[in-house]
Structure 1
Amino acid sequence: MKKKVAIIGAGIAGLSAAAYAAKAGHEVHVFDKNSTPGGRARQFTTHNGYTFDMGPSWYWMPDIIDNFFQDFGYHATDFYELVALHPQFQMIFEEDRLAVPGNYNELRAVFETIETGAGKQLDAFMKAARYKYEVGMQQFVNKPCHSWWEFVSPTIAMSALKLDLLSNFRSYVKKYFTHPKLVALMEFPVIFLGASPQQIPALYSLMNYGGYALGTWYPMGGFYKLVEAMQQVAEQQGAKFHFAHTVEEVIVHNKEVQSLIINGETHAFDAVIASADYHHFETLLAPPYRNYSEEYWQSRVFAPSSLIYYLGFNESIPHLTHHTLFFENDLDDHIDDIYGNKQWPRKPLFYACCPSKTDSSVAPANHENIFLLMPLATGLEDSEEMREKYFLEMIGRLEKHTGQPGLLQKIDYKRSYCVRNFMEDYNAYQGNAYGLANTLSQTAVLKPSIRNKKVKNLFYTGQLTVPGPGVPPSIISGKIAAQEVNQLKSIYHESTI
């Protein structure tokens, strides 16, 4: 039955939900408080010729992203050019660096030079990771997770042991590799899942396959090309977008959302999908209609926030690849400061993205576009002085490892982004950047529900619900939420928008 559907938030999950809901024949309206789509994946340009992606920069699991476009008769490459990165990235250690080749056989050879027998171990690891990827991304992540019974199937039952659901990622990695550099390389992808490797299920070795085996890619023009393509697909299905539109209140009657107050005006809807911050959206509901209490949210383990710097340099910087990880310090020390001590890191790791190494359109000729990101605990006091302290440390390490002194004098664009900006722009709970951590106690049915349990036509999507943080999971989350709307029975409201 045709419904009038409101989708709140035009991030990746909201764009996905809009496309699928509109394809099903519903009248779909997407509202976003910001002036452009994309949420954390927005983009901005500067007066002096730089183009910066504001958030996601790792184009992994290309097959999952392409599945979205295939559902509408396209491929991702119908909308943008994808290039494979060679090397995929490099890791900087205290005394040397490790480049990760795009070719698997070359990667295998690198492993073997670092640790005798590690090439064969990599084969075994990746064989198991591929199995997890194929089962996990087909069987697990597409479920709404209303009940554990959804996971009772012959395939999952037969796969239970191979999926390593109850072992932790660190122990699992160390069954294969002992050299600290290889352990760091294999543990790195789970940082995207927002928790220590000791707390992440070994199931997520599927990330290693989705990245290292399937490759690290880049959409020419920036990650925002994915956002633009998803919006185009949604609009082709009939979805309408409304930017600079803030939802101020949710009106519930007879346990159904009756209307939304948006920019001071009241609009009726048959169903609502909240792709905004889950906690924030619940504050727009009267307390009796909220799924979770404030105490619940305080008890959750959130993925980190981030300190980000968007930098333009007026000359090329050598010895950087598109992606560079600065791992001179101990990963566990940084993780302890994020999750245990809840403080600014004493010995931080950080990440540098330099898309101008691949894409000349993102910076003026002979200039460099660099994005620095340092993971942080959520809820930290965020001052300009503290931002600048860590900025100078990151620049110092960048100078050391590129052999390029005087970088401060070569900056011709500089903008920072941190905890309070995530709160201001996205209403992000405690300024989180990535949603909830994918720990064992926050997996599947144990995540915040995709369905409001007290309001029958209200659903949630995005990184705070199933299947979890990241671009491919958010795309899947939007599809699941749209499918939930399809199961509703309600009267169609004529549009007044």
Structure 2
Amino acid sequence: MKKKIAIIGSGFSGLSAAAYAAAAGNEVHVFEKHRVPGGRARQFTTDNGYKFDMGPSWYWMPDIINGFFQDFGKDVHDYLNLIPLNPQFEMIFSDEKVAVPENYEEMRALFEHMEVGAGARLDDFMKAAKYKYEVGMRDFVRKPCHSWSEFISPKIASSAFRLDLLSGFRKYVKKYFKNPKLISLMEFPVIFLGASPKKIPALYSLMNFGGYALGTWYPKGGFFELVKAMHSVAEEQGAVFHFDQNVEKITCTDETVESLLINGQKHQFDAVIASSDYHHTETLLPEHLRNYPESYWKARTFAPSCLIYYLGFKERIPNLKHHTLFFENDLDEHIDSIYLDKKWPEKPLFYACCPSKTEDGVAPEGHENIFLLMPLALGIDDKEETREVYFKQMMARLEKHTGSTGLIDKLDYKRSYCVADFISDYNAYGGNAYGLANTLSQTAVWKPSIRNKKIKNLYYTGQLTVPGPGVPPAIISGKIVASEVNNLVTHPTYEKAV
């Protein structure tokens, strides 16, 4: 039976849910508080010719992203010009810099050069990671996770040992490699899952395969091109988008969502999918109808917030790659500042993205577009003076690496973005940037439920529920929740889509 469905928010999970729900023949309306779709993946342009992606910049797991388009009889290449990056990224250590090549055989040779025997062990690591990727991303993470019984299948049962769910990622990596720099290279992909590599399950070595083996890509025009493409697909299925529309309240009658208050106007729906921040969505409900009390959220381990700077320079900066990781300092010290001390780090690590190395159109001719990102604890004081202290530290290290001088004087655009901005723009709990950490105790059934347990027609999707943070998981999350809302409705288009 056709339903009138409201989707709150148009991040990747909301875009995905909109497309799949509309493909089933439902009347779908997406309400977005901003003037454009994308949520954290929005893009902005400046009057002097810069184009900045505000959020995601690593295009990994290309097969998972393309799977969304294939579900609707399309191909990602119908929409995006994907450019392979070589090197995929460069990692800066205190005494050396290591560039990870696009070609696997060259990567294998690099590992062997850094540690005798590491080339063959990389083969073994990637073989195991490929298996986890194929089982994990195509089966394990696609469950709605209402009950552990969903994971009782011959395939998953036979795979349980090989998935390494109970092993810590760091201990697992050290079984293969001894060189601290190789360990850092392998640990990097899981850092933004939101916890120390010591606490992330070894299952997530699948990310090494999804990134290093399948390549690091850049969509020409920026990551926002993926947002535009998914928005287009959702509209083609019949979804209607409403921008500058803020959902202020969820009104319920007899354990059912009866209406949404949007910009002061009441709108009725048969079902609601919240792609907005899970905790924030619950505050739109009376307390007795929420899935979780405030104490639950305070006890969760969240992925970090971050300090971001969007920078435009009046000249090209040498010796800089598209992606550069500044790992001159100790990773665990920085992680402890986020999760244990909950303070600004004394010796931070950070990341620099320079898309103008790959595409001229994101900056004026002869100029450079750079995005700096430093992971931070949630909820800390991020006044502008503090942001500036760390900005100057990052700029000094950028100058040292590139051999440039006076970079601050060469700026012609600068904008900071931090904890308070994540709260203001996205209602993000504590200013989190990436959702809940993928620790073992917050995996699968132990994540916040995609269903409201007291209201039969309210659902949740996105990085605070299954399967977790990241662009491909968010896309999968939208598909999972649309299937739940549609209750597996049989429809010619939807049969293919699910």
Question: Aligned partners of 1:425, 1:111: CA distance in 2, in Å?
Answer: 42
Show the 5 A alignment for 1:276-355.
276-355=276-355
**Which letter does structure 1 place at the counterpart of 2:415?**
R
**Which letter does structure 1 place at the counterpart of 2:128?**
A
Question: Aligned partners of 2:64, 2:408: CA distance in 1, in Å?
Answer: 40
Describe the SS at the equivalent of 1:401: helix
Describe the SS at the equivalent of 1:464: coil
Residue 197 of structure 2 is matched in structure 1 by 197
**Which letter does structure 1 place at the counterpart of 2:442?**
Q
Question: Aligned partners of 1:133, 1:306: CA distance in 2, in Å?
Answer: 28
**Which letter does structure 1 place at the counterpart of 2:420?**
R
Q: State the 1:239 CA deviation.
A: 0.4
Question: Aligned partners of 2:19, 2:13: CA distance in 1, in Å?
Answer: 10
Contact 2:40–2:56, Cα closer than 8 Å, also in 1: yes
Contact 2:309–2:416, Cα closer than 8 Å, also in 1: yes
1:360 paired with 2:360, answer yes
Describe the SS at the equivalent of 1:122: helix
Residue 107 of structure 1 is matched in structure 2 by 107
Q: State the 1:488 CA deviation.
A: 8.5
Q: Which runs of no fewer than 5 residues in structure 1 stay unpaired?
A: 490-497
Question: Aligned partners of 2:365, 2:398: CA distance in 1, in Å?
Answer: 21
Question: Aligned partners of 1:110, 1:413: CA distance in 2, in Å?
Answer: 37
Question: Aligned partners of 1:242, 1:306: CA distance in 2, in Å?
Answer: 29
Question: Aligned partners of 1:164, 1:191: CA distance in 2, in Å?
Answer: 18
Question: Aligned partners of 1:73, 1:87: CA distance in 2, in Å?
Answer: 32
Question: Aligned partners of 1:418, 1:450: CA distance in 2, in Å?
Answer: 28
Question: Aligned partners of 1:147, 1:50: CA distance in 2, in Å?
Answer: 48
Q: State the 1:474 CA deviation.
A: 0.1
Residue 53 of structure 2 is matched in structure 1 by 53
1:159 paired with 2:159, answer yes
Question: Aligned partners of 1:319, 1:333: CA distance in 2, in Å?
Answer: 28
Contact 2:192–2:304, Cα closer than 8 Å, also in 1: no
Show the 5 A alignment for 1:33-48.
33-48=33-48
Residue 381 of structure 1 is matched in structure 2 by 381
Question: Aligned partners of 2:192, 2:334: CA distance in 1, in Å?
Answer: 14
Residue 496 of structure 2 is matched in structure 1 by none
Residue 136 of structure 1 is matched in structure 2 by 136
Contact 2:255–2:456, Cα closer than 8 Å, also in 1: yes
**Which letter does structure 2 place at the counterpart of 1:202?**
A
Question: Aligned partners of 1:366, 1:73: CA distance in 2, in Å?
Answer: 41
Residue 239 of structure 2 is matched in structure 1 by 239
Contact 2:142–2:467, Cα closer than 8 Å, also in 1: yes
Question: Aligned partners of 2:314, 2:183: CA distance in 1, in Å?
Answer: 37
Residue 28 of structure 1 is matched in structure 2 by 28
Question: Aligned partners of 2:384, 2:173: CA distance in 1, in Å?
Answer: 39
Describe the SS at the equivalent of 1:197: coil
Q: State the 1:382 CA deviation.
A: 1.0
Question: Aligned partners of 1:253, 1:352: CA distance in 2, in Å?
Answer: 49
**Which letter does structure 2 place at the counterpart of 1:9?**
G
Q: State the 1:487 CA deviation.
A: 1.3
TM-score, normalised via structure 1 length: 0.98
**Which letter does structure 1 place at the counterpart of 2:227?**
V
Residue 74 of structure 1 is matched in structure 2 by 74
1:470 paired with 2:459, answer no
Contact 1:11–1:275, Cα closer than 8 Å, also in 2: yes
Question: Aligned partners of 2:73, 2:330: CA distance in 1, in Å?
Answer: 46
Residue 460 of structure 1 is matched in structure 2 by 460
**Which letter does structure 2 place at the counterpart of 1:183?**
I
**Which letter does structure 2 place at the counterpart of 1:35?**
R
Contact 1:257–1:272, Cα closer than 8 Å, also in 2: yes
1:229-286 deviation per Cα after TM superposition (whole angstroms, max 9, x unaligned): 0000000001000111111111111111011111111110000000000000000001
Q: State the 1:80 CA deviation.
A: 1.4
**Which letter does structure 2 place at the counterpart of 1:422?**
F
Question: Aligned partners of 1:458, 1:341: CA distance in 2, in Å?
Answer: 37
Contact 2:324–2:352, Cα closer than 8 Å, also in 1: yes
Question: Aligned partners of 2:218, 2:291: CA distance in 1, in Å?
Answer: 38
Question: Aligned partners of 1:376, 1:76: CA distance in 2, in Å?
Answer: 33
Residue 98 of structure 1 is matched in structure 2 by 98
TM-score, normalised via structure 2 length: 0.98
Question: Aligned partners of 1:309, 1:285: CA distance in 2, in Å?
Answer: 35
Question: Aligned partners of 2:31, 2:289: CA distance in 1, in Å?
Answer: 22
Residue 176 of structure 1 is matched in structure 2 by 176
Find runs of 4+ consecutive structure 1 residues off by over 3 angstroms: none
**Which letter does structure 1 place at the counterpart of 2:135?**
V
**Which letter does structure 2 place at the counterpart of 1:481?**
V
1:120 paired with 2:120, answer yes
Question: Aligned partners of 1:337, 1:65: CA distance in 2, in Å?
Answer: 33
1:110-158 deviation per Cα after TM superposition (whole angstroms, max 9, x unaligned): 0000000000000000000000000001111110000000000000111
1:175-203 deviation per Cα after TM superposition (whole angstroms, max 9, x unaligned): 00000000000000001211100110000
Contact 1:257–1:457, Cα closer than 8 Å, also in 2: yes
1:297-319 deviation per Cα after TM superposition (whole angstroms, max 9, x unaligned): 00000000000000000111011
Q: State the 1:96 CA deviation.
A: 1.4
Describe the SS at the equivalent of 2:139: helix
Residue 492 of structure 2 is matched in structure 1 by none
Residue 83 of structure 2 is matched in structure 1 by 83
Question: Aligned partners of 1:480, 1:74: CA distance in 2, in Å?
Answer: 20
Describe the SS at the equivalent of 1:303: coil
Question: Aligned partners of 2:332, 2:455: CA distance in 1, in Å?
Answer: 42
Two-structure CA RMSD over aligned residues (Å): 0.7
Question: Aligned partners of 1:379, 1:303: CA distance in 2, in Å?
Answer: 12
Residue 256 of structure 2 is matched in structure 1 by 256
Residue identity (%): 72
**Which letter does structure 2 place at the counterpart of 1:42?**
R
Question: Aligned partners of 2:360, 2:149: CA distance in 1, in Å?
Answer: 51
**Which letter does structure 2 place at the counterpart of 1:71?**
D
1:17 paired with 2:22, answer no
Describe the SS at the equivalent of 1:347: coil
Residue 64 of structure 1 is matched in structure 2 by 64
Describe the SS at the equivalent of 1:141: helix
Contact 1:457–1:488, Cα closer than 8 Å, also in 2: no
Question: Aligned partners of 1:208, 1:30: CA distance in 2, in Å?
Answer: 34
Question: Aligned partners of 1:175, 1:183: CA distance in 2, in Å?
Answer: 10
1:188 paired with 2:188, answer yes
**Which letter does structure 2 place at the counterpart of 1:174?**
K
Contact 2:29–2:240, Cα closer than 8 Å, also in 1: yes
User: Aligned pair count?
Assistant: 489
Describe the SS at the equivalent of 1:125: helix
**Which letter does structure 2 place at the counterpart of 1:62?**
P
